[in-house]
Amino acid sequence: MGETGNREPVENEGMDGTTAVVTGASRGIGEQVARTVADHGAHVVICAREADPLEAVETAIREANGTVTAMRADVRDEFDVERLLETASRAGDESGVDYVVANAGVYHGSPGETPLTTESYAAFDDHMRTNARGVFATLREAVPHLTDDARLVVPSGSVARTVQSGFGSYATSKAAAEAIARGFAADLDQPVAIVDPGQVATSLSGGGGRDAKAAANMIHWVLTQPDPKAIDGKVVSASAWREATR
């Protein structure tokens, strides 16, 4: 897996010549975000744990005349993430990273059927390592490479803020991820937004909800359109996006 050649010009809404990093890009929201930002002119750097599905996304982006660099990387391993961001910083037309979408996440069990009372320690640990520590590693390793106008996004969901039975340590890990995002928002000059697209039809949700492409369009909007101060450290909801884009 590696870099592509030149791409045809597209309507880019300010993303042409930029570099975007998307973790967990082999399926679901991450895949659709990667395709969307590539369609709008960004050189997208994608990663996932599994090489085969990641290569399929890379091929699809290339076939659509997008520019992509794909790396197998595990966000639980900070050295993998460090290499990912270093590669991304050199991937585009100019040095540096313009957009980061810390999307990689896991859910062990069936959504809504994993109460804390019966949660395994292994599931708890991996939810926290992937969904919380993985976000921390992605944002932290991005810091040395961010351009002045960079934007960072952490996808999340209502279970991070509203107690719901049966979501166990997954909900706990997403609450931690949101706290991490707010901490980076306080410490960085660049904005860090938490994006809650609502329930999206992915393997993590059990297949119910809106199409992942709609969530990707929402994230693309957050990366390119709102005033940075309006999103920094804030939760951007699907309703707020729909209202702003009427």
Which CATH number goes with the domain that contains 149? 3.40.50.720
Please give the pLDDT value at position 202: 65
* Residue 55 backbone dihedrals phi, psi, to 5 degrees: -65, -35
Tell me the mean pLDDT in the region 112-120.
96
Mean pLDDT of the chain: 92
**Band of the pLDDT at 234, cuts 50, 70, 90?**
very high
Assess contact for 22 and 37: CB atoms under 8 A.
Answer: yes
**Band of the pLDDT at 92, cuts 50, 70, 90?**
confident
Q: How far apart are CA 68 and CA 22, in angstroms?
A: 11
Instruction: Name the one residue in this structure whose structure tokens are 């292994």.
Output: 122
Question: Is 5 inside any structural domain?
Answer: no
**Band of the pLDDT at 218, cuts 50, 70, 90?**
very high
Question: Is 116 inside any structural domain?
Answer: yes
Q: How far apart are CA 172 and CA 95, in angstroms?
A: 36
**Band of the pLDDT at 221, cuts 50, 70, 90?**
very high
Question: Is 118 inside any structural domain?
Answer: yes
Question: Is 126 inside any structural domain?
Answer: yes
Give me the catalytic one of 99, 107, 121, 170.
170
**Count of domains in the chain?**
1
Question: Is 7 inside any structural domain?
Answer: no
Tell me the mean pLDDT in the region 178-190.
98
* Residue 199 backbone dihedrals phi, psi, to 5 degrees: -70, 125
Tell me the mean pLDDT in the region 153-173.
96
pLDDT at 101 over 90: yes
Share of the chain above pLDDT 90, in %: 86
Which two tokens mark 168? 């166990």
pLDDT at 159 over 70: yes
Question: Is 3 inside any structural domain?
Answer: no
Please give the pLDDT value at position 146: 98
Q: How far apart are CA 96 and CA 136, in angstroms?
A: 19
Q: Which structural domain range is residue 171 located in?
A: 19-244
Please give the pLDDT value at position 206: 55
170 has catalytic annotation: yes
Q: How far apart are CA 183 and CA 192, in angstroms?
A: 9
**Band of the pLDDT at 6, cuts 50, 70, 90?**
very low
Tell me the mean pLDDT in the region 198-225.
82
First to last CA, the chain: 39
pTM: 0.92
Question: Is 77 inside any structural domain?
Answer: yes
pLDDT digits (tens, 9 = 90+) for 16-65: 999 999 999 999 999 999 999 999 999 999 999 999 999 999 999 999 99
pLDDT at 173 over 70: yes
Share of the chain above pLDDT 70, in %: 91
Nearest to 102 by CA among 125, 133, 77: 133
Question: Is 2 inside any structural domain?
Answer: no
Assess contact for 145 and 90: CB atoms under 8 A.
Answer: no
